[in-house]
Amino acid sequence: MSLLSLSNLTIRYGRLTAVRNVAFTLAEGEILFITGPNGAGKSSLLRAIAGVTPPAGGRIDFADHDITGRAPEDIARLGVSMVPEGREVFGSLTIEENLTVGTGMHAGEHGWRGRAADALEEIYATFPILKERRHTQAGLLSGGQQQMLVIGRALMTNPRLIAIDEPSLGLAPNITDQVYERLIALRAHRKLTLLIVEQSSTRAMMVGGRMILMRGGEVLLDGDARAMGQSEAMQAAYFGYGDH
């Protein structure tokens, strides 16, 4: 059974069509990379799934709910957590406050305080620097530290699907490795489903899993990341040889 399914999804900004008739499904526990050059429509796709940019056409289903055009806070409650492009930390809030914003939607559920506290400790164990500076204003963190913060913040909502826009952006390679290790471990033990946007396919080929290659708002290739990495079709898609 699929957790997320997109059909005929089209996203427009005024006259510009950023995403055209995209369709795919994602099973629970799966890991999917969406790659492609600048302007391919990757970020638009994530924003539509999270409810930030309502699609112009098509349909999005998540966990047996039609979430097309639903409000972001409702989609979040169903278990979708998105880390947008450009981080978007709450700069005037402390690190700990940033992390706790997302636990509010579970307020009132049985035992939510305990779970929120455990989740916080888990994030702090993964990114000790966040714990060290927990009472610092998030706006004062370095770019890489902010990246850790937003990933941690997204995990705090206890999502079923986490959709991250370019997690490696601005991170040192060894930190990127840590982030991915952590995500993959979480995927195993919480059945977390991962949807990750990356510019390049390098990381997808290292981690393995499924990869979708987008260009000009459309899906060009969809398949096993490692197999795809070797193919010429992929090179062509990236650098646009196919057009000439």
Partner 1 sequence: MGSVMQVVFDAASLGSLYALGALGIALIFGVMRLVNFAHGDVIAACVFVLLWPSVDAVAIVFAGNLPWFLLVPFVLAMGAALSVASEVVVFRRFRNANPATMMIASFALGFVIRYFLLMLYSSRPKSISLLPTLSQPVEIMGARIPLLQVITIVVTIGVLFGLTSFLRRTRFGLEMRAAAENFTMARVLGVRANRVIMGAFALSGALAAAIALILGSQTGTANIVMGANVMLMAFIATVIGGMGSLAGAVIAGFLLGAIAVVMQVILPPDARAFRDAFVYGAVILVLIFRPQGLLTARGTKERV
Residues at the contact surface with ligand ATP, assessed by CB under 6 A: 13, 16, 18, 36, 38-44, 85, 199
Q: CB under 5 to 8 A by kind: which of Mg ion, partner 1, ligand ATP, none does 170 bind?
A: none
- Closer CB to ligand ATP, 41 or 58, in the complex: 41
Q: d(Cα 240, Cα 220) in Å, to the nearest integer?
A: 11
- Closer CB to partner 1, 41 or 102, in the complex: 102
Which member of 97, 122, 177, 218 binds partner 1 (CB under 8 A)? 97
Type of residue found at 50: A
| Least distance (Å) between residue 181 CB and partner 1 | 24
The DSSP string of 109-152 is STTHHHHHHHHHHHHHHH-HHHHHTTTSBGGGS-HHHHHHHHHH
| Least distance (Å) between residue 85 CB and Mg ion | 5
| Least distance (Å) between residue 33 CB and ligand ATP | 13
Instruction: By CB under 8 A, tell whether 102 contacts partner 1.
Output: yes
| Least distance (Å) between residue 239 CB and partner 1 | 34
Instruction: By CB under 8 A, tell whether 217 contacts partner 1.
Output: no
| Least distance (Å) between residue 215 CB and ligand ATP | 9
HEC states along 47-69? HHHHCCCCCCEEEEEECCEECCC
Q: Which of residues 7-66 bind partner 1 (CB under 8 A)?
A: 50-53
- Do 131 and 162 form a contact (C-beta atoms < 8 A)? no
Beta bridge pairs of residue 19: 11
Q: Which of residues 136-175 bind partner 1 (CB under 8 A)?
A: 139, 153-154, 157
Q: CB under 5 to 8 A by kind: which of partner 1, Mg ion, ligand ATP, none does 107 bind?
A: partner 1
Q: Provide the angle, in degrees to the nearest 10, between the axes of the packed helices 112-126 and 143-155.
A: 150
Q: Which of 27, 13, 12, 84 is nearest to 61 (CA)?
A: 27
Q: Extract the tokens encoding 219.
A: 């899906």
Q: CB under 5 to 8 A by kind: which of ligand ATP, Mg ion, partner 1, none does 96 bind?
A: none
Beta bridge pairs of residue 165: 197
